Structures are given as C-alpha cells and as structure tokens.
Amino acid sequence: MDKYRIRFSKTGRAKYISHLDLLKIFTRMARRTGLDLVYSQGFNPHAELVFSAPLPLGMTSEAEYLDMQLEGPANEDELLGMLSGSLPEGIVPLKIRHLEPGEGNVMRPVAFCRYRMELSFPYAAFREIFPEKLRRCLEGNEPIITAKKSKSGVKNVDIRPLIHSFGEDFCSIAEHGCVFTAVLAAGNEANLRPEVALRGILDEINGVDAAETVETCENGPDGERISCEIDRVHKLEYLDGACVPLW
C-alpha cells in the first residue's frame, strides 16, 4: 500500500464544481485510468481519498491537495501523465509525490493561504487611487471591523490580526482594476475567508476616506460595481518562524 499526494489546480469552469462532487470525479478518474485505489472495508466500500479543506464554490485555486492510497507503488511521473488529460476541464494535476510512512495527511492544519485577488472597477479614477488607499489602510493600526460568520453566528470582529501580509508588488494596476495578493489566516485555529477580508478592507477604505471615493461605488465583491476574482495561490505553513508554501 502506497500513499501519494497530488497537488492540483481548480480553475476556469471547474470553480463551479462542488467539493462533494470532487470525490466522485477522482474515483471515476481512477477507474478510467486503471489506478488501483485502496478501498475501505465494510458493507459500502469507498475509495480512500483525503482532500484538503474545501474551496468555496466560485473560487479558483492553484493549491488543492489530495492524498490517495494505491495498492502498489507507481512511478510518479507516469502517474502525473495518467492523471493529466483524464479529468474534467479545469482540474489539472500539477505535481505528485510519494508519501513516506508516518507523514501526516493533507488535512493537517495549514497556517495561512495566499490569495490572488483581481478587482475590476468600472471607474478609471477610482482604479488609480485605489492602490494608494489600500496601502494606507493596510499600514495603519486601526482595527478593521467587519461582520464575520462563525459557529455562534455573525459577529463584528477585528480582522486585522488575521491578515498576515500582502504581496511585495502589493497592488498593480490591471486592465480593468487592480491585482494584489494577500496572505490570510487559514486553518482550524484562525481562519479568514478572502471574500470576508476583501469586504472588510473595502468598507474600511470607504469609511476612512469617504470624500475621495467615487460616490456610486459600492463595496463589492458582491456588489454590481466592483467585481472580484479570487484565486488561492498557495497554502502556507510556519517553518522556523517563516511562512513557507506547502509543497
């Protein structure tokens, strides 16, 4: 019995495939390619597949993980070749590695995730002032209070401690808006969903400096005026005091 970890991307149309449907998709892929998956014992055997934490519907990702158990060893490159082209459009295996006995499974809590956020603004004027506003907001110390759902209901919390950092080129101007990356808490202990972070930041920007804001601009990402595409780029863990991407 051999364990393999796959990192795959889920982009394009596939962002609308739900987490529940992924299990079937990979089980069927294994049957098509002749991969000998290990099945559970019992009355209703199922393939032993373990996915990383679910990605919200509509979000793309370059960093989804799956641990699968095979009945026997396989060549990693061949395995990658088999998987490529055998999955629905938008789900692409990126790399595969053999797991050593005792290695923790993929559900082991990560510390942070890095997201790439692409904002589209209809107003050129706002597009140009946005990066500066964003920088000022993030360099400040004021709490960023935003409504956040938790098990006990919706609460207003300060999300600033959950925002680890932003990319170095932290906000570049794209064709219709801006692109920036953000590293946010992810995992069981502290978690900040990127769309919640974005809403909080946009609220904050408007709140701090309402006079400069284009009046009709709504605080996306759900609003009609600002739209946003969020892509999970990496999962990160703490190693020796630094935040490093998970394999």
Measure the CA–CA gap between 203 and 197, rounded to whole angstroms: 10
Q: How many residues does the chain have?
A: 247
Part of the chain binding another protein (CB under 8 A), chosen from 19-27, 100-108, 111-119, 129-137: 19-27
Helix, strand, coil share (%) of the chain residues, nearest 5: 25, 35, 40
- Closest contact distance (angstroms) between CB of 221 and another protein is 9
Residues 110-149 that bind another protein (CB under 8 A): none
The pattern of x and - marking residues 43 through 82 that bind another protein according to CB under 8 A reads: --x-----------xx------------------------
* Closer residue to another protein in complex, CB, 37/99: 37
Q: Binding another protein by CB under 8 A: which of 1, 6, 10, 17? A: 17
Residue 219 CB, shortest distance to another protein, in Å, is 15
Q: Which residue has the tokens 């759900």?
A: 222
**125 in helix, strand or coil?**
helix
Query: Of 19, 28, 135, 225, which lies in the binding site for another protein, with binding defined by CB under 8 A?
Result: 28
Please, what is the minimum distance in Å from the beta carbon of residue 103 to another protein? 27
- Number of residues counted as binding another protein (CB under 8 A): 27
- Closest separation in Å from C-beta 21 to another protein: 6
Burial of 46 (0-12, 13-18, 19+ CB in 10 A): exposed
Per CB under 8 A, the list member of 1, 32, 40, 158 interacting with another protein is: 32
Applying CB under 8 A, does 39 fall inside the site for another protein?
yes
Q: Which two tokens stand for residue 115?
A: 């997201």
Positions in 205-224 near another protein (CB under 8 A)? 222, 224
> Which 8-state DSSP code applies to residue 21?
H
What letter represents residue 14's amino acid? Answer: A
Strands 227-239 and 60-70, by their bridges, are: parallel
Residues 89-108 that bind another protein (CB under 8 A): 89-90
Residue 141: both structure tokens together: 């110390």
Q: Which of 101, 116, 22 is nearest to 60 (CA)?
A: 116
Q: Which residues lie across from 188 on neighbouring strands? A: none
Please state, in angstroms and rounded to a whole number, the distance separating the CA atoms of residues 183 and 229: 16
- Residue numbers of the site for another protein (CB under 8 A)? 12-14, 16-18, 21, 24-25, 27-32, 39, 45, 57-58, 87-90, 222, 224, 227, 229
